[in-house]
Every structure is written in C-alpha cells, then in structure tokens.
Amino acid sequence: MTIAANQLQHLWQRGCDFLGTEYAIMGGAMSWVSERNLVAALSNAGAFGVIANGSMPPGLLEKEIIETRKLTQKPFGVNLIIMHPQLDELVEVCKRQNVTHVVLAGGIPASSTVKSIKDYGAKVMGFAPSAIIGRKLVRNGVDALVIEGMEAGGHIGPVTTSVLAQEVLPQITDVPVFIAGGIGRGEAIVSYLEMGASGVQLGTRFVCATESIAHDNFKQLFVRSSARDAIPSVQLDPEFSVIPVRAIANKATDDFMRTQREVIDQYRSGALDKKEAQLKIEHFWAGALRKAVIDGDIEHGSVMAGQSVGMVSKIEPAQHIIDELIEQAQRYLDKKTATMKSVA
C-alpha cells in the first residue's frame, strides 16, 4: 500500500469501520435510482449502497432488500422517510431482513423509532441540517450523522456544504459524521476528511453508472449539463411555502412557476381556499421524478440533480467511478506530501 493509500485509509478509518466497507463513501438515496442494481454495484465496488425506500410500501421494500442481497454479499443500508404512513411496518421489515444500517430522513425521528431500530442491533443514521439538530439526534440515540448542503440534488436546505461542515465538524465528534452535497471529486473528499469528517455521501456522480436503471435520456442530460443548470425551485409567495428542490432546468421548471402564479391568483380571487391552493402547488411535482427517471421525459419530468452534475462526463460502471475518486484522492495526498517534503 502506498503512502497516499495509507493516509487515506487513516483519514476515513472510522467511517469504514462504521459502515463495514473498504471505502467510506455512501451512495445517496435517490428515489427510483437507488434500487437493487445501483445499490449492489456500489457495495461491490467497495462503497456503501443505500436503498431509497421513498414511498414504497413494506412488501415492496422487503422484496427490494431480498433482491439486493442476491446481487451483493457486501454491506448496504436502507433509507426511510420518517413521514411515511407505514414507518413502523418498514422498520419491522428492516428488522426481519436484519438490515445493518438504517438512514432516517425527512426530519427529526421519534426516539421510539430510533430505539426500535437499535434494539434489533442495527445502526441508525440521521440527517442534521445544523449542529443543534445534530446534537439532538445524538442525544436521541442516532449512531452517525449525515450533513448535506444546498449543492445537493432533490430537496435541499438553505446552507452550503462547506459552511455546514465548518459548523458541525468541530462541535460533534462523538459520532461519525458524513458530508454530502456537491461532492464530485476525490480532492473534495480528502478536504472534508481532513476537517474531521468520517466519510462522504455522493448521489449525482452515481446516476450515470452503467448499473443505474435511470432512462438513457436522463443520463444523457446529466452528461450534457453544467453546475449552473442544476437550480433550486423558487417560491413566489411567502404565504405558500415551497420546499426547494434542486433539478436541471427544463419546461417543467417554467410550468411550476406558471402554476404557482395561477393558483395564487385563484386564491386571491376566492376561487380556492388557502389549503386547496397549497395542496395544488404541492401536488404539481407528484410523479414528476418517475416521469423523468423511468419514462425518460426530461422536458416535463423532474430531473433532480446536484451541482456536481457538471463533473459527470460519461456513462460508466460504478467501479470505474469509485476507482477514479480514490485515484484523485490519493494523487492529491501525494502532491501534499511532496510539497511538505520540498518545504522541509
């Protein structure tokens, strides 16, 4: 093992030990994309695949876990959305299938949910949009944190990855912390590890893996797009909240703006009450991600992507993507070592 390889291993040893993997790189849980094929491919490549449960019912999740195990003997996890109406049943599925890592997303999970997962022996991970919430999650029993900046694809918060890392990493050291949002190269991985992170999570870089079931139209748009093309959705009126979603701009982006204006006008005229208007706005994107990912409608579907989409240049096997990230990280560490020696 080279000096750089040893250095990298030392930097993310805690994350590797926590995940049970060769590399402390988690696959972001992307609905319709992070299913058995991509999850298994990432785990087989030495990283850590995560099944995106999304709105799956318990029976479908159980089948997905079973089918994933047919494709890999390596560790992988399951991402559960805490607002899911059948959350308790989903946890039971994870217990029955002895899922080793459960990632809880979409808010602060109840202590009882965390306890029910830990009681059967699994490790629990949670998303922390701030140090305050991170500490609360740790007090509630969460074993590791993911902090994700606004550069990520899909639903995003208001703070950048670099700022969150500076806020959280110095304050929370008692559990492993994984950094996510806008990470597309190995040099960035090393920089966050050196700041105190135990590992990273990447999503956008893996959408164009050969093993990803995303439609070719979806993948080709990723390859053609730059960082500036991945923009957050805009809220037009403070009375009607819109959780920002970062996606590649298309006709649906314009349609969403137009729909908001029309609905707000209907509310102002008395044609709709406030609840009806809010629901109409929220339902605009229903099924839009599937339309893009599975059906290939990249004009009217939602092409969720992080700003690291500009670093996606081709469709290639997951193993090649992981290998490239590791090579970049080690080359960066080699340069640092050479610089230090020349200065000395």
CATH of the domain at 111: 3.20.20.70
**Do 40 and 111 fall within a single domain?**
yes
- pLDDT reading at 301 higher than 70: yes
Asked whether residue 107 falls in the same domain as residue 183, the answer is yes
Judge whether residue 199 has pLDDT over 90. Answer: yes
Co-location of 266 and 139 in the same domain: no
Token readout for 118 is: 């830990």
219 in a domain, yes or no? no
Quote the pLDDT of residue 91.
Answer: 98
> Quick check: is 341 in a domain?
no
Is the pLDDT confidence value at 242 over 90? no
Range from 131-145, 173-187, 253-267, 300-314 carrying the lowest mean pLDDT: 253-267
Residue at 284 is within a domain: yes
Question: What gap in Å lies between CA 193 and CA 208, rounded to an integer?
Answer: 25
76 and 29 inside one domain: yes
220 domain residue, yes or no: no
How far is residue 190's CA from residue 198's CA, in Å, rounded to a whole number? 10
How far is residue 178's CA from residue 184's CA, in Å, rounded to a whole number?
15
Sheet holding 144-148, edge to edge: 25-27, 199-202, 177-180, 144-148, 123-127, 101-105, 76-81, 49-52
Q: What DSSP designation does 149 have?
A: -
Predicted local confidence at residue 288, as pLDDT:
92
Whether 104 is covered by a domain: the verdict is yes
Helix, strand or coil, per DSSP, at residue 226: coil
159/264 same-domain check: no
Does 28 reside within a domain?
A: yes
Classified as helix, coil or strand, 267 is: helix
- Residue 293: pLDDT over 70: yes
Number of domains, the chain = 2
Kindly give the pairing relationship between strand 199-202 and strand 177-180.
Answer: parallel
313 shares a domain with 274: no
pLDDT at residue 181 above 90? yes
- How far are the Cα atoms of 88, 169, 336 from residue 84, in angstroms, in the given order? 9, 30, 46
Residue 181 CA to residue 187 CA, distance in Å, equals 14
Do both 100 and 127 map to the same domain?
A: yes
Check residue 342 and give its pLDDT.
79
> What range defines the domain where residue 291 resides?
226-304
What does the alpha-carbon distance between residue 260 and residue 170 come to, in Å, rounded to a whole number? 41
Write out the two tokens for 233: 């959705």
Same domain for 192 and 44, yes or no, is: yes
* pTM reported for the whole predicted model: 0.94
Q: Look at the chain and count its residues.
A: 344
Is residue 344, in this structure, part of any structural domain at all? no
Residue 133 Cα distances to 108, 126, 146, 167, angstroms: 8, 10, 11, 12
Partner residues linked to 103 by β-bridges? 79, 125
Q: Please determine, for residue 298, whether its predicted confidence score (pLDDT) is greater than 90.
A: yes
For residue 103, the model assigns a pLDDT of 98
* Same domain membership, residue 99 and residue 84: yes
For 42-99, the pLDDT digits (tens) are 999 999 999 999 999 999 999 999 999 999 999 999 999 999 999 999 999 999 999 9
In this structure, the answer to whether residues 54 and 162 fall within a common structural domain is yes
Choice between 305 and 240, residue whose per-residue pLDDT is larger: 305
Same domain as 298, residue 316: no
Q: Is the pLDDT of residue 343 over 80?
A: no
Phi, psi of 223 (to 5 degrees): -60, -35
What's the chain's Rg over C-alpha atoms?
20
Closest C-alpha among 85, 93, 34 to residue 58: 93
Q: Is residue 140 part of a domain?
A: yes
The pLDDT > 70 percentage for the chain reads 100
Do 275 and 330 reside in the same domain of the chain?
Answer: no
Q: What is the pLDDT of residue 344?
A: 67
Angle between helices 58-71 and 87-96 (to 10 degrees): 30
Residue type, 169: L
